[in-house]
């Protein structure tokens, strides 16, 4: 039994044999591992951001109560510390919230969420400073409350990024890149040249780490991903099994 299909140009029926032939898959490593699974699903993104934000916000709770544990740079954490000492959280709130807003707008365009700017600075410093400045101290005082509050903030950020992305670069019939090609081009063009340097540095550190870095870069090249990420991940995995002794 044969199926008939209509060509887009002239509407002429075309016969298709019932042999059900399929395109060759290309063999081993022709597909990115995990593609189509939960780990690479779009709806899983808010879940990951919620987990990250929950840990970062809880770290700020530890800093607020025990003065240690914050997930941010010393210079940025000092703004929050100054507010804890003199009661003025304006600088920390403005700096952290500004970073968070910028990264939430940037993330949907470039497809990369800057964890340092959006979560560590925004969720870890900016939002806590805003809460403390407004007099809401409970989420920062109680561990059991900091975890769900941080998770809720992260989930909202993840949903906002997906909503902005669907309304812009992924919109139906949309042809504008909204500057994403320029923003991505600048980073990737410079990052391409770092991969070989990472491999050379790993090889000079130790032979097993260098081999691991090379394998990681080769796999990422096979999957059409940036070499730098594969070289770094490969070096880290090799270093886990073949640690470099300290001097």
pLDDT at position 240, please? 82
pLDDT at position 19, please? 47
pLDDT at position 173, please? 64
> Would you give per-residue pLDDT tens digits along the chain (247 residues)?
444 443 344 444 444 444 444 544 444 445 666 667 787 788 889 999 999 999 999 999 999 999 988 898 888 899 999 999 998 899 899 888 888 888 887 777 767 787 887 899 999 999 999 999 999 999 999 999 999 999 999 999 999 988 888 877 776 665 555 555 544 444 555 566 777 888 888 888 889 999 999 999 999 888 887 788 788 888 888 888 887 765 5
Closest among 67, 122, 119, 71 to 92, alpha carbons compared: 122
pLDDT at position 49, please? 93
Cβ neighbours for 72, distance < 8 A, ≥ 6 positions apart? 120, 121, 124, 125
CB 40 within 8 A of CB 56: no
Query: How many residues in total does the chain contain?
Result: 247
The H or E element that residue 6 is part of is: strand 3-6
pLDDT at position 13, please? 45
| Burial class of residue 114, CB neighbours in 10 A (0-12, 13-18, 19+) | middle
Q: What are phi and psi of 192, to 5 degrees?
A: -60, -35
């Amino acid at each position: 039994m044969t199926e008939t299909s209509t060509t887009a140009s002239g509407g002429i029926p075309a016969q298709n044999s019932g042999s059900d032939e399929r395109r060759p898959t290309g063999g081993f490593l022709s597909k990115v591992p995990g593609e189509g699974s939960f780990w690479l699903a779009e709806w899983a993104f808010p879940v990951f951001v919620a987990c990250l934000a929950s840990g970062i916000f809880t770290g700020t709770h530890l800093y607020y109560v025990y003065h240690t544990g914050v997930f941010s740079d010393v210079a940025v954490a000092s703004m929050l510390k100054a507010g804890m000492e003199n009661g003025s959280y304006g600088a920390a709130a403005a700096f952290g919230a500004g970073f968070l807003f910028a990264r939430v707008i940037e993330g949907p365009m470039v497809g990369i969420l800057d964890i340092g700017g959006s979560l560590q600075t925004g969720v870890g410093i900016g939002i806590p400073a805003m809460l403390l400045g407004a007099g809401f101290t409970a989420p920062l005082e109680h561990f059991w409350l900091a975890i769900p509050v941080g998770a809720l903030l992260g989930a909202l950020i993840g949903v906002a990024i997906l909503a902005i992305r669907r309304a812009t670069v992924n919109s139906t019939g949309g042809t504008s890149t909204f500057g994403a090609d320029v923003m991505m081009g600048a980073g990737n063009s410079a990052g391409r040249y770092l991969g070989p340097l990472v491999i050379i540095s790993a090889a000079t550190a130790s032979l097993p780490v260098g081999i691991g870095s090379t394998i990681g870069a080769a796999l990422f090249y096979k999957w059409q991903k940036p070499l730098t990420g594969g070289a770094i991940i490969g070096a880290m995995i090799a270093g886990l099994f073949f640690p470099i002794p300290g001097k």
